[in-house]
Amino acid sequence: MLAVTVIAGILFVWSLLAHRLSRWSVTAPIAMMGAGIALTAGSHPPLHFELETAVFEHAVEVVLALLLFVDAIEVPGGILGREKGPVLRLLAGGLPLTLCAAFLTGFLVFPDQSGWLLAVLATVVVPLDLAPTAAVVRDRRIPARLRETLNVEGGLNDGIVSPVFLLCIAVAVESHGAYADYGEALLEAVEAAGWALATGLAIGWAAGWLMRRSWSRGWTESSAMRLGVLAVPVAAYTFSSAVGGNGFVASFVAGVIFGPSVRRLPETAVELTDDVVILLSLALWFLFGQIVNDAFREGFRASMILYALLAVTLIRMLPVLIVLTGTGMTPADKLFLGWMGPRGVTSIVFGSLAVIELPDASADFIARVMVMTVMLSIVLHGLSAEPIACLYARRATPRPTGGPPATVE
């Protein structure tokens, strides 16, 4: 209970100083992570959490399930948003190229690791999370088309990577057995994805149809709608898990199907789900502080730092620049979309699930690289957000034209 009190207190203090702290790029995730690092450090820390348990595993899956659902439904103008061309290029071309680049870079930097473990690592470090730099997608100094493109890509990116992660982790776990059966592992992963797809489709469609009908006929009210929306991803997650599917894949699919119905519900319908996702995500950032301390206990090899640095820079930037060729975007806009790819909650969740499922040596490797990647992303992307916005503001400011100077009376 003390941990809950501490987390609540930190959130309360941050809420009082949020505007002032934002001037120094101190967001709520950064504040929670810093507090987690401080309060779980040392041989006898004030707080300590058991992270390699079934309870923690299910908890982080629920966090990701809710996050994926919210991301999937909050896209204006349809599933690809209004900037369909760039978004489609980034998801259909840039994302596979980024995964391949992360995988191949792993082979070069970590030649002693197995291929399937490097595939798991690639799926852990590639997904985007805009929460650490949320101000970017609200900053009006940055062109609206770029903010929407980044927002939509961030919302759909992790949902697309999720089944790939499940497949890689299933085969990686099987490869550590005495008698590896890759075929069976692949079959189980595909079967789980199939169940997730089926349950997500069914629950998303049924919930959307029922809620639209109820609201249009005046059978309910706004407060009840908020509870109903929150129940959809919870139902998708739990039912999919019960029948052998994966909960967060089902939740993402349910969000995709349910999304169009949100436009025909009251504007406040998603507010409760949003708030719950933010609260749970911030609690996870606090726990990430302990993961950082555990990873730093034995230090980092130079190869891990190099890989993490490449993961948050060139591994994303080069594929994005390639797929956006021919779109008519300026070089500055392409560089912005390539650079602004922060890592966060999704990487933490995938990394945590990998740690729980994999043997100790492999789990330690994934955890340490994940921690370094997320921390470098927070520093580099967080600190660069304000300078980038200032550059765009200066570009948008009209330059004075020639002519006689104005007289002052």
Asked if residue 30 is part of any domain, the answer here is: no
Q: CB–CB of 255/72 below 8 Å?
A: yes
Question: What's the rounded Cα separation, in Å, for the pair 283 and 277?
Answer: 10
Q: CB–CB of 244/191 below 8 Å?
A: yes
Asked if residue 23 is part of any domain, the answer here is: no
Total number of domains constituting the chain: 1
How many CB atoms are closer than 10 A to CB 11? 18
Question: What's the rounded Cα separation, in Å, for the pair 281 and 286?
Answer: 9
Asked if residue 28 is part of any domain, the answer here is: no
Asked if residue 408 is part of any domain, the answer here is: no
Residue 182: which domain range? 43-395
Domain containing residue 278: CATH number: 1.20.1530.20
Asked if residue 19 is part of any domain, the answer here is: no
- Count Cα atoms within 13 angstroms, Cβ side, for 199: 27
Asked if residue 87 is part of any domain, the answer here is: yes
User: Global pTM?
Assistant: 0.86
Question: What's the rounded Cα separation, in Å, for the pair 165 and 161?
Answer: 6
Provide the pLDDT for residue 326.
86
Provide the pLDDT for residue 300.
78
Asked if residue 337 is part of any domain, the answer here is: yes
| Six token digits for residue 287 | 């726990």
Asked if residue 328 is part of any domain, the answer here is: yes
pLDDT (tens place) for every residue of the chain, 409 residues total: 677 787 788 888 878 887 777 667 677 788 888 888 988 888 888 888 888 777 888 888 888 889 889 888 865 555 666 677 888 899 999 999 999 999 999 999 999 999 989 999 999 999 988 877 777 777 788 888 888 888 888 878 888 898 899 888 888 887 765 445 566 767 777 788 888 899 999 999 999 999 999 999 999 998 899 999 999 999 999 999 899 888 878 998 999 899 888 888 888 899 899 889 888 888 898 989 999 998 888 777 899 999 999 999 999 999 999 999 988 889 999 999 999 888 888 999 999 989 888 888 898 999 999 999 999 998 888 778 778 888 888 877 665 555 555 444 3
